[in-house]
Amino acid sequence: QHSICCRILLGSTPPHNTTVLLSVPDDVLLWKFHMFRSTVLRAANKFGRTTHSPSTLNHFKPVQMPSRGLAAAAVEYPVLWGTSMKALVKEKPAEGLILSDVPKPAIGPNDVLIKVSKAAICGTDVHIYNWDQWAATHVPTPMTIGHEYVGTIADMGKEVKGMKIGQRVTGEGHITCGHCRNCKGGRTHLCPNTVGVGVNRPGAFAEYISIPATNVFKLPDPIVTDDCASFMDALGNAVHTALSFDLIGEDVLITGAGPIGRYRESRCVNQQNLPV
């Protein structure tokens, strides 16, 4: 944990100075310190006023936590040497992709190997193809990209339960650590150790992809077609947003008429009969 020390002046004379030690967990994003500082100052104002000497809160230098998936933090994932599959790879830090032969991914006891049948192009993939500033900061090379897909289970680890070979599935593209404060509290979407499929670890623009079983979602036949399942990431985003608020009797403004915006429109109009 990081400890932040500040002085709160409880009275008008120095003897009433009190030092408060604030303990901040490692997984708090300290680079957003200005938000934290404002909260502390508001609390302090209930008791008195704060001092702003160079040794106190006003001049605290926040620790710069590494952003998720820094390009420099490349990790090698296990593969089956002696095997081969086709994959679209960002081979070097420059514009473009190449179709390459790479080894098939290996699986651990809690992993699932998926044979990809269809994949979709996300805006993230376009960023990586163009190699803009965001991609150069976050994506290590070489990297097999892609994170929206559907396929069937080709193999799975011995500890995987409730799934079977040949089952049609898709996968959630954010791999979380499972042991940080947020993960253990059920807030996995806030995990500071999140790894992105096709961004920080090998992705789905390949014949096979390996991901943890906890990220695999079974698809009922034939309710969800392969065409829809291949961009389940975007569809799920839209549906989740539309269901997050009580919209009955409301007018809805959707800005942006891309795929996610159109999915939200469809959900609002067809399911809740709302003016959009």
Helix (H) or strand (E) holding 190: none
Q: Per residue, what are the HEC states of 129-172?
A: HHCCHHHHHHCCCCEECCCEEEEEEEEECCCCCCCCCCCEEEEC
- What is the rounded CA–CA span in Å between residue 265 and residue 242? 9
Helix (H) or strand (E) holding 117: strand 111-120
- What is the rounded CA–CA span in Å between residue 151 and residue 90? 22
In the chain, the largest separation of any two C-alpha atoms, in whole Å, equals 76
**Catalytic hit among 34, 59, 83, 127:** 127
Is 52 annotated as catalytic?
A: no
CB 140 within 8 A of CB 72: yes
DSSP lists the bridge partners of residue 7 as 19
Is 124 annotated as catalytic?
A: yes
CB 247 within 8 A of CB 276: no
Which tokens is 152 given?
A: 């069937």
- What is the rounded CA–CA span in Å between residue 229 and residue 200? 22
Catalytic residues, which ones?
Answer: 124, 127
